Structure 1
């Protein structure tokens, strides 16, 4: 699991010539049926995904515990997931988030997102992803990261993508380095997990050297 950013987006939608929401919705439409290893489908989050997301998170609760901050009890309820999903879709409309589910049959078995999206002089986004415990080691995370970096470069016109992992999350670090990310630092006491502040490793990938596009 790669942690979401802790800072809000700034400058979303500026400098790319499109309203932010239109830009994100356009990009979402580019990969409505990308196929990952093993026939898993990568597709945009949908307003009806709350039950499947809840099932996935409950199924993986212990798997995520070493890497995930403590969740409020509402997170583990259907109403809580509906509220969370509404917030995610609203952020997408506002142009600060682009979120996808990995689906095998009727099950959601992972997720990936570009968040804290900024245009203008920054042209950057933060990357997040997670994979079901039953799917670990099958290349889903690496394939999804490759697809999202392509969207960030090709469809959103971004310059760089960042990600953070906990010091202990060696699997996620391998996913990032396999996809051309480089570690550029360590954030000390970055996130509170399992009763203590944990360091996180900071990764970046420079997608291109293009200047920002003016409106």
Structure 2
């Protein structure tokens, strides 16, 4: 997608394209939420790297211009509340993408994340023409698991040692939706209270497996 995404709103919550001038407030929020976010942050398996917010935003914007991602800022009453990134966009026979997000601790519990995810998913389905949206979540991340439960993302399976997070390879539960499952959209189904109660249920066997170490080597 060469043009930036529009600002999308639901009540007091909105998502808008990230801008280079967001670097200062982004840096401030990340510093203030260091302990809150550390457990869920992607890390470099080759060692620590210096994180530069302006370089990070430039990379996100370049990815967006190439059509491979859509980087959003999440706002609540116009205040910077977090980030949501649509990444790994593929068109053609796959027509899919992945969603990742974080919200500042001071905005937790306000329903911001499910609204932001619903807005972004509907945008990808009905404006970008994608067929499938995926969210992968660490088994320990109870707050994020509640997001997919609220929105009815369907559980698809356990991915062992999938992403390097907080210094090690971590298991993730995978959830997804396809546009043909809900032609009315994610937001409309959620607001109407028609989300299937068991869609995001993780089988007990997968929960147990995620708590056990993966045997490596022979």
What residue number does 1:11 align with? Answer: none
Deviation at 1:148, TM superposition (A): 0.7
Name structure 1 gaps, 5 residues minimum: 1-19, 210-215
Tell me the SS of whatever aligns to 1:147: helix
**Which one of 10, 17, 23 corresponds to residue 44 of structure 1?**
17
Q: Is the 1:35–1:42 Cα contact (8 Å) retained in structure 2? A: no
Secondary structure of 1:148's aligned partner: helix
The match for 1:127 is 99
- Counterpart for residue 178 of structure 2: 206
Larger Cα-atom Rg: 2
Alignment of 1:153-192 (within 5 A): 153-192=125-164
For the structure 1 residues 106 and 178, does the alpha-carbon distance in structure 2 shift closer, same or farther, using more than 3 Å as the test?
A: closer
CA drift at 1:207: 1.4
Flag the 1:119–1:63 CA change in 2: closer, same or farther, 3 A: same
Calculate the TM-score normalised by the size of structure 2. Answer: 0.75
How many residue pairs match? The answer is 178
RCO higher in structure (CA 8 A, sep ≥6): 1
How do 1:21-60 residues align onto structure 2 when only pairs under 5 Å count?
A: 21-22=2-3, 25=4, 28-29=5-6, 32=7, 34-36=9-11, 39-60=12-33
- Tell me, what secondary structure is at the counterpart of 2:140? coil
Partner of 1:3: none
> Which of 36, 41, 48 is residue 63 of structure 1 equivalent to?
36
Matched with 2:192 is none
C-alpha separation between the residues in 2 aligned to 1:106 and 1:201? 32
Residues 95-117 of structure 1, C-alpha deviations (whole Å, 9 max, x = no match)? 01111112346742111121111
Counterpart of 1:101 in structure 2 is 73
Q: Is the 8 A contact 2:162 2:172 kept in 1?
A: yes
